Amino acid sequence: MAERTNPFTFLQQVRTEAAKIVWPSRRETAVSTVMVLIMAVLAAIFFLIADQILSLGVGFLLGVGS
């Protein structure tokens, strides 16, 4: 079983770890957000095109829609 620490030591450890956190700047956050939005749009376009091609292929093979 894990060794138990007292609450005071635990809080000291939490404060020490929290001090190591490096938050991104406003610019880094904005750039990351724009990149995610661009990738989401590109993925949506890719899957739309792939879906249309597969739909046409299945329709052609089954003779549906003619």
Could you tell me the residue ranges of all domains in the chain? 25-66
Predicted confidence (pLDDT) per residue in 7-29, tens digit: 899 999 999 999 999 999 999 99
Mean of per-residue pLDDT scores for the chain:
92
Separation of CA 41 from chain center: 13
What pLDDT score was predicted for residue 33?
98
Predicted confidence (pLDDT) per residue in 26-50, tens digit: 999 999 999 999 999 999 999 999 9
Alpha-carbon distance of 59 to 66, in angstroms, equals 9
Residue 26, token pair as written in the block: 């406003």
Calculate mean pLDDT across residues 56-66.
Answer: 82
Alpha-carbon distance of 48 to 42, in angstroms, equals 10
Calculate mean pLDDT across residues 53-66.
Answer: 85
Please count the CA atoms within 13 angstroms of the CA of 57 that sit on its side-chain side. 6
What pLDDT score was predicted for residue 12?
93
